[in-house]
Amino acid sequence: MENKDTKTIKIREVKEEPIDFSRALTVGEVASRSGVAVSTVHFYESKGLIQSTRTQGNQRRFPPIVLRYIAIIKVAQSTGIPLKEIQDALGRFPANSKLTSEQWKEMSTQWKTSLDRRIKQLTRLRNELDHCIGCGCLSLSDCPLRNPEDFLGSRGPGAQILERP
């Protein structure tokens, strides 16, 4: 019988270049240098965002390029880019590859659209949160002006004023 809760991890293609183990980093070194917990390094690896190789003693070793990947992941997450979008963007390139400036530019251009949309939503939230947002509660004094008799409810659920395009 098949378990429906099983999730598939998408493993990206790994470049054929062997890792120079004299420059390879342990998971602790990656965590220390990148400023994330060891568990976060393992999490990123489990999601296919970074990849390691194993020594003969079965210890993980990472190429130094993962430091750039983790830095990009951290910055992207801090701006609100969902991990799935980060996975999709990085997944277009072979794992652990040294991306060209054109490839990084292509990725950042893709994210700019998402960030612009998010900035617009956050600005609207900041500017309108203390006013009627069209949620249907009709509890604020300006609700009768902005959403008389909850006419915005006919457009759908949620805060219609905040969620407009």
Number of domains forming the structure of the chain: 2
Pair (89, 152) in one structural domain: no
For residue 20, the model assigns a pLDDT of 52
Full residue range of the structural domain in which residue 77 is found: 9-128
Q: Is residue 85 part of a domain?
A: yes
Q: Is residue 4 part of a domain?
A: no
Pair (19, 69) in one structural domain: yes
Pair (75, 134) in one structural domain: no
**CA atoms of 64 and 103, how far apart (whole Å):** 18
Pair (59, 135) in one structural domain: no
Q: Is residue 1 part of a domain?
A: no
For residue 16, the model assigns a pLDDT of 47
| Mean pLDDT of all residues in 102-117 | 88
Instruction: With both helix axes pointing from N to C terminus, report the angle between 38-46 and 27-34 in degrees, rounded to the nearest 10.
Output: 110
Q: Is residue 99 part of a domain?
A: yes
Pair (28, 86) in one structural domain: yes
**CA atoms of 76 and 57, how far apart (whole Å):** 34
Pair (106, 25) in one structural domain: yes
CATH number for the domain spanning 56: value is: 1.10.1660.10
Pair (96, 164) in one structural domain: no
- Strands 60-61, 53-54: pairing is antiparallel
Q: Give tens-digit pLDDT for 27-84.
A: 999 999 999 999 999 999 999 999 999 989 999 999 999 999 999 999 999 988 999 9
Q: Is residue 79 part of a domain?
A: yes
- Write down the residue that tokens 């600005």 correspond to: 123
Q: Is residue 165 part of a domain?
A: yes
